[in-house]
Amino acid sequence: MTRWLWILLVVALLGWWFSPPIHSARARAPGMLVAEAPDQRDLDHAATFQDKDFTITPLADFSLTARVLSRTDYSFDRQSSISPTDLALGWGRMSDSAVLAGLDISQSGRWYFYHWSTDTPPIPKDEIIRSSANMHMLPADDTVRWELKQVRPGDVVHLEGQLIEARRSDGSVWRSSMTRDDSGDGACEVVYVRSLVVM
C-alpha cells in the first residue's frame, strides 16, 4: 500500500510541476489605460543570429505599452522552444474595460479571437483590428522569460525588441506582420523581446 501512495505522490508532483501556471485576470476600472499605438521602425539590413534551431532576422525595432487582453502558453508546437507564450494585447480603446466588457476574447492554436453578443461591436471592427493584436513572444534571455511568466490578463506591460522572421532548420518560416491593420492568417506579430516590464 505504501508503495502505491509513493507512486501517486510522484505522479501528482510531476503533474503540478509540468502544468501551465494559472493566470487570474487583474480587474481594471473603466477608462482607456494606454493611448499610444506601438512604435515601429523598419530595418533595411540587420544581422541574423541563432536562437536554438532557428535563424532570426530582425525586420523592425519595435516597442509598445499595452493592456494584456489574454495570454496562452505553448509547450508542444514547433515554435514553443523559442516562443512559449502568446499575448493578446490592446491599446487605445481596446485598453478600456468598458469596451472590453462587450467582447469575448480568447486564444487558441496561436490565434486570437474576439466576439460580441450584441448586434454591433462596442467599437467599430476596424478599430478593434487596428488597436489589438496577437503577438508571439520570443524572450531574448532568462530575465525576460521570467518576467513573461509573471504577466496576467489585465496587466499593462511595456516591451521593447524587434519584429522578426524566424527560419527553422527544417525550412519552415515564421514571419511577423509588419502592419497593425491586418487580420487573419499572417496578421500576428512575432516579437523578439529584449525587455519586458509590468507597469
Per-position DSSP letters for 71-109, written without gaps between them:
EEE-SSSTTTTT--EEEEEE-GGGG-HHHHTT-EEEEET
User: Where in the chain does DSSP place strands (E)?
Assistant: 39-42, 49-51, 54-73, 85-90, 104-108, 111-115, 132-139, 156-168, 173-175, 189-198
The pLDDT value recorded for residue 48 is 94
Say whether pLDDT at 16 is over 60.
Answer: no
Predicted confidence band of residue 14 (pLDDT cuts 50, 70, 90): very low
The pLDDT value recorded for residue 20 is 46
The pLDDT value recorded for residue 129 is 96
Say whether pLDDT at 19 is over 50.
Answer: no
Give phi and psi for 95, each to the nearest 5.
-105, 5
| CA neighbor of 198 nearest in space, from 131, 146, 129, 130 | 146
The pLDDT value recorded for residue 45 is 85
Predicted confidence band of residue 90 (pLDDT cuts 50, 70, 90): very high
Say whether pLDDT at 71 is over 60.
Answer: yes
Rg of the Cα atoms in the chain: 18
Each residue of 138-197: pLDDT tens digit? Answer: 999 999 999 999 999 999 999 999 999 999 988 899 999 999 999 988 899 999 999 999
What does pTM read for this prediction?
0.85
Say whether pLDDT at 98 is over 50.
Answer: yes
Distance of CA 191 to the CA centre of its chain: 9
Question: What is the grid cell recorded at 56?
Answer: 532570426
Contacts of residue 158, Cβ cutoff 8 Å, sequence gap at least 6? 63, 64, 65, 196, 197, 199
